[in-house]
Structure 1
Amino acid sequence: MALEWTAEHAAGVLRMPTASDDKYSRGVLGVRTGSERYPGAAVLGVEAAHRTGLGMVRYLGPERPTALVLARRPETVTADGRVQAWLIGSGTDASERRAAETRALRDLLAGEVPVVVDAGALDLVADAPGGAPWRAPVVVTPHDRELARLRDAAGLPAVDLTEPGVDRTAAAVDTARALGVTVLLKGARTVVATPAGVARTVTSPTPWLATAGTGDVLGGILGALVAGAAGAAEAGEEASALDVEALGALAATAAFVHGRAAAAASEARAGGPITALDVAEAVASVIGALLHR
């Protein structure tokens, strides 16, 4: 049985900063996304992360995406350093990934800070040493076809999630259990499942969200929420460090904020079409409204 995530649930996950906060207690997100072929993914994810309200975004990527990120968001730090969560894979292609980048991403998955894994880095998730889950708490953000590939890599039965009547919740749950990660299965009805079998669903409020780049925006929102929660835990505001089960509520909240931002962007255009950047720009207002419920 899946829990439908609501504004009340999302508001309970979000955190209002206080006068005692600094950029580290508010969370620092490290971002390794974008490529020379798909530089816009880096811009969209970084933009969304900033709009979600974390303390700092640290972007590490190729030259062209770096230049575009700084042109759009000059407050972004482009030097290596301390981070409290990672976002990887958006706007990248595993078939074009260099060996050095593969090693770097595997090192992140073998580390201690949480990792949001999207698109071109999803292939690494099922490749944990010895078949055990990666050391880092991991949340993956596949669409239906990507989940099918993850299932195949994990040795799970094939499921065609495009077929009418297929149980997407069950597919997400047993994938999460098999891989030891939280799964955010994107779609008009997003499913979030944890390895313990906890399932949450988020229904999109507008079909205009189905457009290029919005998945990159979702990655930025989720990365920011995870970094913020990790920063709060590090500052001693939470009882323990973030684990993979705690990522479930954060992932559902990210999906909820993403959908509400899309609806707000469309409403501002008389219910008309939107772009991914429109969604990213609406995120801050959605966060503010939820915090003031």
Structure 2
Amino acid sequence: MTDFFRAEEAAELIAVPDEGDDKYSRGVLGVMTGSAQYPGAAVLGVEAALRTGVGMVRYVGPESAKQLVLARRPEAVSGRGRVQAWLVGSGMDAESRTGDETALLRDALREDLPAVIDAGALDLVGDAAGPVVITPHYGELARLLGAERADIAADPARFASRAAEQLGVTVLLKGFVTHVAGDGVLLKARSATPWLATAGSGDALGGVLGALLATHSDQILADRAVLPRLAAAAAVIHGIAGDRASNGGPVTVLDLAAALPATIAHLLGTRA
């Protein structure tokens, strides 16, 4: 039986800046998310990434989403530039993407950098040159594998492992119990309150995970085997922040994001 990934293990994977760091050495996350239909996904992912801890977020996306991102988080930088990792696909629809949007996504994924691929970019996983974590829910994984959603729900661990082997990526299969598979490893995370079954929760998870990839980019490029642990850590951090924000009642995703710094501080306090 696979043990649950523990908060103490997640704490060890949080990068802490020192006095010699600057915004570039702390990690720069490129974010290509959101759409005219779902601009809020971009806001939530950027918000969560910044509150998890990166030196900079570079946002590349549609104008409607960009304006919302900059209004909410003016420290985000608009446009392409040097990054250490990518978060792509949240709030996008593969069937309605334009050719220009698809080309931008492919360009980002071919940069040989760690990448989180979510939702509307999952069909481009084969274009990625660097280490990848995909973050599907049951329905999205069913479409990727040509399987039935009910079968995946009945045995998520098996299908997460199958997808990881078949696609050559790390798979973070979202659910109340999150299953992470990659490099022959299977991990489980369960720290979230059921109140987090709400729109936008996965967008925030993508931001948390993107931040962890950006702050560990060099380690990932040296050894991809760290990816499953980082993905499980993201699920744990996201879940604990949601529980902190909920306090036993309903929670919004911006509430969760606001709870991330205190969650990070608490986890760091548990480190030896």
1: distance between equivalents of 2:41 and 2:200?
7
Q: Which residue of 2 aligns with 1:131?
A: none
- Deviation of 1:3 after TM superposition, in Å, equals 3.3
SS at match of 1:4: coil
* Equivalent residue letter for 1:207: P
Q: Does the alignment pair 1:274 with 2:251?
A: yes
Q: Does the alignment pair 1:256 with 2:236?
A: yes
2: distance between equivalents of 1:36 and 1:160?
28
Q: Which residue of 2 aligns with 1:69?
A: 69
Contact 2:114 2:132 in 1 (8 A): yes
Structure 1 residues 160 and 96: alpha-carbon distance in aligned structure 2, compared to 1, 3 A threshold:
closer
Deviations 1:207-236 (A, max 9, x none): 001001111000000001100111xx3xxx
What 5-or-longer segments of structure 2 have no aligned partner?
none
- Deviation of 1:250 after TM superposition, in Å, equals 0.8
What 5-or-longer segments of structure 1 have no aligned partner?
129-133, 153-157
Contact 1:58 1:79 in 2 (8 A): yes
Relative to the length of structure 2, the TM-score reads: 0.95
Q: Which residue of 2 aligns with 1:89?
A: 89
Q: Does the alignment pair 1:170 with 2:161?
A: no
2: distance between equivalents of 1:143 and 1:162?
13
Matched ranges for 1:124-273 at <5 A: 124-125=124-125, 127-128=126-127, 134-152=128-146, 158-161=147-150, 166-194=154-182, 196-230=183-217, 233=218, 238=219, 241-267=221-247, 271-273=248-250
- Deviation of 1:159 after TM superposition, in Å, equals 4.3
2: distance between equivalents of 1:280 and 1:46?
10
2: distance between equivalents of 1:159 and 1:172?
13
Contact 1:114 1:242 in 2 (8 A): no
Q: Which residue of 2 aligns with 1:20?
A: 20
* Equivalent residue letter for 1:26: R
Structure 1 residues 163 and 95: alpha-carbon distance in aligned structure 2, compared to 1, 3 A threshold:
closer
In the TM superposition, structure 1's runs of 4+ consecutive aligned residues that sit over 6 Å from their partners are none
- Deviation of 1:65 after TM superposition, in Å, equals 0.8
Q: Which residue of 1 aligns with 2:59?
A: 59
SS at match of 1:19: coil
Structure 1 residues 6 and 160: alpha-carbon distance in aligned structure 2, compared to 1, 3 A threshold:
same
2: distance between equivalents of 1:105 and 1:255?
24
- Deviation of 1:161 after TM superposition, in Å, equals 3.9
* Equivalent residue letter for 1:19: E
Structure 1 residues 81 and 163: alpha-carbon distance in aligned structure 2, compared to 1, 3 A threshold:
closer
- Deviation of 1:104 after TM superposition, in Å, equals 1.9
**Aligned-CA RMSD value:** 1.5
> Number of aligned pairs?
270
- Deviation of 1:160 after TM superposition, in Å, equals 3.5
1: distance between equivalents of 2:162 and 2:148?
11
1: distance between equivalents of 2:191 and 2:266?
18
Contact 2:35 2:61 in 1 (8 A): yes
- Deviation of 1:107 after TM superposition, in Å, equals 2.3
Relative to the length of structure 1, the TM-score reads: 0.88
